[in-house]
Amino acid sequence: MTRQDEKSEGRNDRRSEGRGGPRIAVVGGGIGGLVLAGMLHRHGIAATVYERDGGLDARAQGGTLDLHPESGQRALDELGLTEGFRAEARPEGENLRILDPAGRTLAHHAPEPGTGSRPEIDRGALRKLLLSRVPETAVSWGNRVTGVEALPAGGHRLTFADGSRADCDLLVGADGARSRLRALVTQARPVHLSAYLQLTITDADRRRPRVAAFVGPGSLMALGDNLNLGAQRSGDGTIRVSVSLRTDAGWIDRQRFGDAGWTETVARLRTLYAGWAPELTGLIDACDPGSLVGRNIEALPVGTRWRSRPDVTLLGDAAHLMPPLGEGANQAMLDGVLLARAIARHGADLSAAVAAYETEMFDRAAEVGAETAEMERAGLAPDAAERMAAFFRQA
């Protein structure tokens, strides 16, 4: 990948020429983009990741992810990171209780030690592990892609926020839920589903021992009245409390977050959860003042696909944004593995590589996307607790 810095008239070339192979640009150094870059490197194929964040610690990484054997764990295995994963993972994080608004436990998923298959790992720890498999020079931090132009002879020219540019033969959009690159291949747009608020209880065992004991070693989910209230432990002793509600796409923008709106927000949440068991509403009361962040939850239409092109493709949320029900990161990781394998198998024939990857990815994403869409509907239904409990009893 050759980077042309307009200001330095090309002297700022900082990347390999793909060792004679295609010039591959990956936009987004999130979970999927880093798996792809690490896997390509393992196959001896050079690629450059362009990430808008200034570095791994540029922003808070959020909560924890359970990695599944057939997808997330498979990716770690193929990257030679199984040992590293075991050292960071928390098998006890799999512990999950489903409750109804009265505080009754309807299902308790608590695998015996050593028998669980989906251990949790903090998102920040996972990204650090993945980054360890990517050569330092292959990640270009602090580079936000602001424009993409198709080149007459094939391939693309990327423009960055600082005005610099780079050309590539294959462009991979790994730029997440709000992907800018998605529009290059499809008109499909994410559809609003719900509002999601997250609050935190730091140092929970010491500062809020009763609340921490109630949450247990993993997570809990209370459902009913078209609302969810969740609580999940991270490896750093933080408990993240989440609130999901069906509401319009503008609701989040109308809220006042941070310290200024804290009292108002807590009062609003108390009203929302009026009549719920005190140990559940007590989760909200226990949160650190000002810790609230909010976002809209969206998903791409299930079965989104596009006509394959040799010079551009997508992976992860950019390709198949799903409701956050335990699959997005896992599928993004599997995409990274399978796209790298296809590129390695087909050599210079990028057309065949992209088509092979997309054929499998479209079918898999349609299947998993349909399952998560069904779970999302069930999770915010009036009888959500019973439906979720039944799901976990079968699992």
Residues contacting 231, CB < 8 A, separation 6+: 215, 219, 220, 239, 240, 241, 242, 283
User: Measured from the CB atom, is 91 or 324 closer to ligand FAD?
Assistant: 324
Q: Quote the CA–CA distance of 349 and 259 in Å, as a whole number.
A: 55
Q: In what order do the strands lie in the sheet with 2-4?
A: 2-4, 165-168, 156-160, 145-150
Calculate the alpha carbon distances from 276 to 228, 269, 280, 389 in Å. Answer: 11, 11, 7, 18
User: Measured from the CB atom, is 64 or 265 closer to ligand FAD?
Assistant: 64
Q: Cβ 228 to ligand FAD, closest distance in Å?
A: 11
User: Measured from the CB atom, is 174 or 380 closer to ligand FAD?
Assistant: 174
User: Measured from the CB atom, is 288 or 349 closer to ligand FAD?
Assistant: 288
302, 370 Cβ separation under 8 angstroms: yes
Tokens 């079918």 label which residue?
Answer: 363
Q: Cβ 393 to ligand FAD, closest distance in Å?
A: 20
Residues that bind ligand FAD (CB under 6 A): 27-33, 50-53, 65-66, 144-145, 174-176, 180, 196, 316-318, 324, 326-330, 332
> Which amino acid would we find at residue 146?
T
User: Measured from the CB atom, is 232 or 281 closer to ligand FAD?
Assistant: 232
Q: Cβ 278 to ligand FAD, closest distance in Å?
A: 26
Q: Cβ 355 to ligand FAD, closest distance in Å?
A: 21
Cα angle: 30, vertex 87, 393; to 5 degrees: 80
User: Measured from the CB atom, is 12 or 351 closer to ligand FAD?
Assistant: 12
Q: Cβ 324 to ligand FAD, closest distance in Å?
A: 3
343, 82 Cβ separation under 8 angstroms: no
Calculate the alpha carbon distances from 202 to 155, 284, 286, 309 in Å. Answer: 47, 13, 10, 47
Q: Cβ 13 to ligand FAD, closest distance in Å?
A: 19
